[in-house]
């Protein structure tokens, strides 16, 4: 008998028939002798619709009120799912994030979890019930409702799994695992059977949209094993866990692309101590998340600084840059929104030299110009023109043979599933 957390995303609970199907899955897992906790998202596109409603009444809605609004989406799903389970003759009880004691900081719309109390979850399990928890939401210590950022239900699921010591956290979604590239761009992309937290973090941070980045961070920090799988079939998906010696590693795990960032360049800033500090302090104060930074060689005492930021921070970034440019007496600045970041991720980079060179050669052969480069010990990212993103992904997937199964001995996904 296992203690399982199962998370169902928006598509998996997109209408009442799908909610009934999820109810059946949960009851089957329970009847098979497991204790089950479900974490669910808002139905279908409900979160997007709520965002549209807010935009219709206020262009810059107060973030506290935004959270009041967004948290309603998940509350609809938990109640309906509990009712559907009761209709199948089984005991179930639903809880909101605040009821479960998902305590966060006060960073409205992207709050961070500080503590998971989960007493009511444990008690309800003891009483033999299927427990249903609203994803994406929490509460500050002084009772303000918060949300955890888009895709935050993944993080709720992992946090609840850590809080109750679950054997596995199964993330049911509309794709059946983590792939070596986006299968819509590379039809031959391969499903990855097992991947380390380290590599999954890099994939999630650079554009793989299967898991929210914070959920992977939380899982790594608390040793929660994640199983990403489809809610529409019973196939094993992708296991995310600590790398261990028995886990035969592919040299390269995958290639990702991200078109959600914009590039800002400040021209002719004085090349002297303290300038970069001023530019990026201004951006930090404006709560802008800077990703890549490149400073050019200086000419005649002046230099260019380029950096990338999420497009959703663009309005705030522009304001911050404007005032810094004026203060520094820089010549001008410009924004390029038509960029993409293409990244190659693989633990094998630690031991195989020359991977970056091979990546650049492959991009050159495809006629792709590289604008900016950044690396970590297991990742190389390039900023390129957005219109070439898919071409670049396909070229790299080919170059590194990612469609072929490079893993000699795959580990069977660990048990604990509902099936």
Closest CB to ligand ASP among residues 6, 180: 6
Q: Which does 97 bind (CB under 5 to 8 A by kind): Mg ion, ligand ASP, none?
A: none
Q: Give the residue from 262, 304, 301, 309 showing the smallest Cα distance to 282.
A: 309
Q: How far apart are CA 147 and CA 67, in angstroms?
A: 6
Q: Which does 135 bind (CB under 5 to 8 A by kind): ligand ASP, Mg ion, none?
A: ligand ASP
In the complex, the residues that contact Mg ion under the rule CB under 5 A are 9, 151
With b for 16 or more beta-carbon neighbours within 10 A and e for fewer, the 17-39 pattern comes to ebbbbbbebbbebbeeebbbbbb
β-pair type (113-116, 102-104): antiparallel
Closest residue to bound Mg ion by CB: 151
Q: Which does 77 bind (CB under 5 to 8 A by kind): ligand ASP, Mg ion, none?
A: none
In the complex, the residues that contact ligand ASP under the rule CB under 6 A are 9-10, 41-42, 47, 73, 135-136, 150-154
Q: Kindly state the smallest distance separating residue 336's Cβ from ligand ASP, in Å.
A: 27
Q: Which does 98 bind (CB under 5 to 8 A by kind): ligand ASP, Mg ion, none?
A: none
Closest CB to Mg ion among residues 151, 282: 151
Closest CB to ligand ASP among residues 41, 381: 41
Q: Kindly state the smallest distance separating residue 70's Cβ from ligand ASP, in Å.
A: 7
Q: How far apart are CA 330 and CA 324, in angstroms?
A: 9
Q: Kindly state the smallest distance separating residue 52's Cβ from ligand ASP, in Å.
A: 13
Q: Which does 163 bind (CB under 5 to 8 A by kind): Mg ion, ligand ASP, none?
A: none
Closest CB to ligand ASP among residues 48, 242: 48
Q: Kindly state the smallest distance separating residue 155's Cβ from ligand ASP, in Å.
A: 8
CB 164 within 8 A of CB 118: yes
Closest CB to ligand ASP among residues 230, 374: 230
Q: Which does 44 bind (CB under 5 to 8 A by kind): Mg ion, ligand ASP, none?
A: none
Q: Which does 150 bind (CB under 5 to 8 A by kind): Mg ion, ligand ASP, none?
A: ligand ASP
Residue with tokens 């107060």: 62
Q: Where are the alpha helices (DSSP H) in 38-179?
A: 46-57, 63-87, 97-100, 119-126, 153-164
Q: Which residues, in sequence order, are CB contacts of 29 under 8 Å at separation 6+? A: 4, 6, 36, 418
Q: Kindly state the smallest distance separating residue 209's Cβ from Mg ion, in Å.
A: 7
Q: Which does 172 bind (CB under 5 to 8 A by kind): ligand ASP, Mg ion, none?
A: none
Closest CB to Mg ion among residues 39, 292: 39
Q: Kindly state the smallest distance separating residue 151's Cβ from Mg ion, in Å.
A: 4
Q: Which residues, in sequence order, are CB contacts of 384 under 8 Å at separation 6+? A: 339, 340, 341, 342, 363, 368, 369, 370, 371, 392
Assigned token pair, 292: 């890549």
Q: Which residues, in sequence order, are CB contacts of 359 under 8 Å at separation 6+? A: 344, 380, 382, 396, 399
Assigned token pair, 311: 């497009």
Q: How far apart are CA 8 and CA 348, in angstroms?
A: 33
Closest CB to ligand ASP among residues 203, 355: 203
Q: Kindly state the smallest distance separating residue 369's Cβ from ligand ASP, in Å.
A: 34
Assigned token pair, 401: 């043979």
Q: Kindly state the smallest distance separating residue 397's Cβ from ligand ASP, in Å.
A: 28
Strand order across the beta sheet in which 379-385 lies: 254-258, 339-345, 379-385, 372-376
Assigned token pair, 393: 């992904």
Closest CB to Mg ion among residues 152, 163: 152
């Amino acid at each position: 008998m296992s203690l399982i957390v199962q998370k169902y995303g928006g598509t998996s609970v997109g209408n009442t028939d799908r909610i009934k199907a999820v109810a059946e899955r949960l009851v089957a897992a329970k009847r098979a002798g497991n204790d089950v906790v479900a974490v669910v998202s808002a139905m279908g596109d409900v979160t997007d619709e709520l965002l549209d409603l807010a935009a219709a009444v206020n262009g810059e809605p107060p973030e506290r009120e935004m959270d009041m609004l967004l948290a309603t989406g998940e509350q609809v799903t938990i109640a309906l799912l509990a009712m559907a389970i009761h209709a199948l003759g089984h005991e179930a009880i639903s809880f909101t994030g605040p009821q479960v004691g998902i305590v966060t900081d006060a960073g409205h719309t992207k709050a961070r979890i500080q503590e998971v109390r989960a007493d009511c979850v444990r008690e309800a399990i003891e009483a033999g019930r299927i427990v249903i928890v609203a994803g994406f939401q929490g509460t500050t210590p002084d009772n303000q409702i918060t949300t955890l950022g888009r895709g935050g239900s993944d993080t709720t699921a992992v946090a609840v799994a850590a809080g109750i010591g679950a054997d596995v956290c199964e993330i049911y979604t509309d794709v059946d695992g983590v792939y070596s590239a986006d299968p819509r761009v590379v039809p031959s992309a391969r499903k990855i059977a097992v991947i380390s937290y380290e590599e999954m973090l890099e994939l999630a941070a650079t554009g793989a949209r299967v898991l929210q980045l914070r959920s992977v961070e939380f899982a790594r920090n608390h040793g929660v094993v994640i199983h990403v799988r489809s809610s529409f079939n019973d196939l094993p998906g992708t296991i995310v866990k600590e790398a261990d010696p028995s886990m035969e590693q592919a040299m390269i795990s995958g290639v990702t692309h991200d078109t959600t960032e914009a590039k800002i360049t400040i021209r002719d800033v004085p090349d002297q101590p303290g300038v970069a500090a001023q530019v990026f302090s201004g951006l930090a104060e404006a709560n802008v998340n800077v990703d890549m930074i490149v400073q050019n060689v200086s000419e005649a005492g002046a230099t260019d600084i380029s950096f990338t930021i999420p497009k959703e921070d663009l309005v705030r970034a522009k304001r911050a840059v404007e005032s810094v440019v004026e203060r520094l007496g820089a010549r001008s600045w410009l924004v390029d929104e038509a960029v993409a970041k293409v990244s190659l991720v693989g633990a094998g980079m630690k031991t195989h030299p020359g991977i970056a060179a091979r990546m650049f050669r492959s991009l050159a052969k495809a006629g792709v110009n590289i604008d900016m480069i950044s690396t970590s010990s297991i990742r190389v990212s390039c900023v390129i023109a957005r219109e070439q993103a898919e071409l670049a992904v396909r070229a790299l997937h080919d170059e590194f043979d990612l469609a072929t199964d490079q893993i000699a001995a795959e580990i069977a996904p660990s048990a604990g599933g509902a099936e």
